[in-house]
C-alpha cells in the first residue's frame, strides 16, 4: 500500500495540514517542525508529486550555490554540508564555481535565476553582488559581508589572526612571512592579516607580507612559492588558508631546519591528512547549517528582518 500524506503526518506527529504546508512551502512553519516532516517523509520514502507542485506554486525546491573553487578543501566541505542540510529539507542544489571572476558570477547568477532557484548561497570576493539590486532576493553570504541587506555567516577572522600570531611569538620566531591570497576588499584574509599584524607590531619581529594571485592555478602558486622560498629564509610562514600552507610544506618538509608553518580553515580533509599542521579551525558544519536555516527562513518570509552578520568562534589546533 502506498504511503500517504496522512502517514507522514502521523509519523511526524503533526497535522495533515502542516505536512501540506511544508510540502507546498505555504504559511509559517518553524524549522524544527519542517525538519520533523522532512525526516518522516524520508523515513517513509514518501515522494509528493513534485512536477505538479512546481507547476501550481512555482516552488522549484532548488538552491543555487556560487563558490570560488572546489580546489580548496574548505569550500568542498562547505558545499558537502550545505547539500546535506538542504537535502533534509527536500531541496536540491545547483553548484557553480566562479574562480572569483565577476563576469562568471554574473553569468551564473543569470543562469540560476533562469532556472528559478529560490535562493542563493555565495562566497563571492568580487563586487558583483554589491552592484545588484538584491534587496528582495534570498541570498546568504559565507565568510564576507557584501551588503547590509544580505546576511553574512563567518568566523572571527581577526581573532584567528591574533591567535596564530601569539603562537608565533611564544615560539620566539622573529623573521616572519605572511603568505596570503589576493587581498580584495571583500576577502576575509584581510582581517586575518590585520589580526596578525596587531600582535606582531608590538614585539621585535621582521614581518613581510606577500600576496599570491587568487586566480592563479595550483601549479602557478606552487612555482611562485618555490621562487619565494628559494631566495628567502623565514623562521615562520603564516599562510592565510590551509591549501597555501600545504603547498609551502611540500617545499620545506625536507629542510634541516624548516620554518614553522601555519594555516587557516581546519577542514576535516586537512586535519585528517596533516594532523600536525598548526591552523585555525572554522566550524564549517554549524556555519553551513545556519546558512541553510537563514536562507530557508528568508525564502519563507522575505520581509523578515535578519542580522547583518552572524559570527562564529574559532579554535586553534596544535
pLDDT of residue 84: 95
Q: How many domains does the chain have?
A: 2
Cβ-contact 312, 282 below 8 angstroms:
yes
Q: Are residues 100 and 13 in the same domain?
A: yes
pLDDT of residue 272: 93
**Cα distance between residue 292 and residue 138, in whole Å:** 11
Residue 111 lies in a domain: yes
pLDDT of residue 188: 84
Answer whether 0.85 is exceeded by the pTM.
no
Residue 119 lies in a domain: yes
CB proximity list for 104: less than 8 A, separation 6 or greater: 96, 98
Q: Are residues 14 and 94 in the same domain?
A: yes
Q: Are residues 164 and 174 in the same domain?
A: yes
Hey, which residues does 175 pair with through a beta bridge? Answer: 206
Q: Are residues 208 and 272 in the same domain?
A: yes
Residue 304 lies in a domain: yes
Question: How is 176-234 classified by DSSP, letter by letter?
Answer: EEEEES---TT-THHHHHHHHHHHHTTSS-EEEEEE--TTS-HHHHHHHHHHHHHH---
The owner of cell 622573529 is 174
Q: Are residues 184 and 266 in the same domain?
A: yes
Q: What is the mean pLDDT of each run of 10 residues along the chain (318 residues)?
A: 85 88 76 86 76 57 92 94 94 90 83 87 73 72 84 95 97 95 72 96 93 74 88 93 92 87 95 94 96 93 87 91
Buried b (16+ CB within 10 A) or exposed e, 202-229: eeebebeeebbebeeeeeebeebbeebb
Q: Are residues 147 and 291 in the same domain?
A: yes
Residue 139 lies in a domain: yes
CA distance between the termini of the chain: 56
Q: Are residues 12 and 127 in the same domain?
A: yes
> How far out from the chain centre does Cα 149 lie?
19
Q: Are residues 100 and 167 in the same domain?
A: no
Q: Are residues 123 and 176 in the same domain?
A: no
pLDDT of residue 185: 57
Residue 318 lies in a domain: no
pLDDT of residue 147: 78
Residue 187 lies in a domain: yes
CATH number at residue 59: 3.40.50.2300
Residue 235 lies in a domain: yes
Q: Are residues 272 and 288 in the same domain?
A: no
**Cα distance between residue 82 and residue 65, in whole Å:** 9
pLDDT of residue 128: 62
Domain, as residue range, for 195? 157-281
Q: Are residues 38 and 143 in the same domain?
A: yes
Q: Are residues 307 and 273 in the same domain?
A: no
Amino acid at each position: 500500500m502506498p504511503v500517504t500524506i496522512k502517514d507522514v503526518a502521523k509519523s511526524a506527529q503533526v497535522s495533515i495540514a502542516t505536512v501540506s504546508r511544508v510540502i507546498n512551502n505555504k504559511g509559517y512553519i518553524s524549522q524544527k517542525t519542517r525538519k520533523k516532516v522532512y525526516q518522516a517523509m524520508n523515513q517513509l520514502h514518501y515522494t509528493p508529486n513534485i512536477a505538479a507542485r512546481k507547476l501550481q506554486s512555482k516552488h522549484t525546491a532548488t538552491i543555487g550555490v556560487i563558490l570560488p573553487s572546489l580546489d580548496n578543501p574548505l569550500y568542498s566541505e562547505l558545499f558537502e554540508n550545505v547539500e546535506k542540510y538542504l537535502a533534509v529539507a527536500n531541496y536540491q542544489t545547483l553548484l557553480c564555481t566562479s574562480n572569483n571572476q565577476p563576469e562568471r558570477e554574473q553569468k551564473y547568477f543569470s543562469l540560476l535565476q533562469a532556472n528559478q532557484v529560490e535562493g542563493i548561497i555565495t562566497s563571492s570576493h568580487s563586487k558583483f553582488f554589491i552592484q545588484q539590486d538584491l534587496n528582495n532576493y534570498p541570498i546568504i553570504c559565507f565568510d564576507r559581508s557584501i551588503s547590509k541587506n544580505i546576511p553574512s555567516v563567518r568566523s572571527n577572522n581577526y581573532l584567528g589572526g591574533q591567535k596564530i600570531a601569539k603562537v608565533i611569538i611564544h615560539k620566539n620566531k622573529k623573521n616572519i612571512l605572511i603568505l596570503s591570497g589576493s587581498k580584495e576588499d571583500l576577502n576575509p584574509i584581510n582581517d586575518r592579516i590585520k589580526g596578525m599584524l596587531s600582535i606582531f607590531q608590538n614585539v621585535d619581529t621582521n614581518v613581510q607580507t606577500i600576496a599570491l594571485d587568487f586566480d592563479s592555478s595550483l601549479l602557478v602558486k606552487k612555482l611562485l612559492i618555490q621562487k619565494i622560498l628559494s631566495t628567502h629564509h623565514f623562521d615562520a610562514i603564516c599562510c592565510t588558508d590551509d591549501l597555501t600552507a600545504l603547498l609551502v610544506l611540500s617545499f620545506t618538509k625536507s629542510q634541516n631546519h624548516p620554518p614553522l608553518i601555519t594555516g587557516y580553515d581546519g577542514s576535516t580533509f586537512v586535519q585528517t591528512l596533516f594532523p600536525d599542521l598548526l591552523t585555525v579551525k572554522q566550524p564549517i558544519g554549524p556555519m553551513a547549517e545556519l546558512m541553510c536555516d537563514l536562507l530557508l527562513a528568508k525564502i519563507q518570509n522575505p520581509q523578515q528582518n535578519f542580522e547583518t552578520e552572524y559570527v562564529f568562534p574559532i579554535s586553534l589546533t596544535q
